Amino acid sequence: KPDLVSLTFGIRITDRGVTLTAERNAAITDKVINALKDAGIAADDISTHDYRIYQENQQTLPGRYTVTNSVNVILRNQATLLQ
């Protein structure tokens, strides 16, 4: 019977200007992490990784940047899974 679950998901923002895009991504990442903590997940079970910034080269998005940040969450409490 499994006793923990590991989830990884990404937060991706595309906007004009690298600073604005990075700030927006950071703000959303902070909100997600705080919501996970408020749901009872321990801070030690939440981590970020694979932070990337790149300039879009597609003709439809000239001058825009994309920032991605992955969040990994370990769920140790099966009751948390059912909420």
Confidence bin at 18 (pLDDT 50/70/90): very high
pTM (2 d.p.)? 0.83
Q: Which two tokens stand for residue 52?
A: 């990337």
- Using DSSP's 3-state secondary structure scheme, residue 43 falls into helix
Q: What percent of the chain has pLDDT over 90?
A: 66
Mean of per-residue pLDDT scores for the chain? 89
How confident is the model at residue 70, as a pLDDT? 97
Query: Which bin fits 33, alpha (ψ -120 to 50), beta or left (φ > 0)?
Result: alpha
How many CB atoms neighbour CB 17 within 10 A?
12
Residues 6+ apart with CB under 8 A from 62: 56
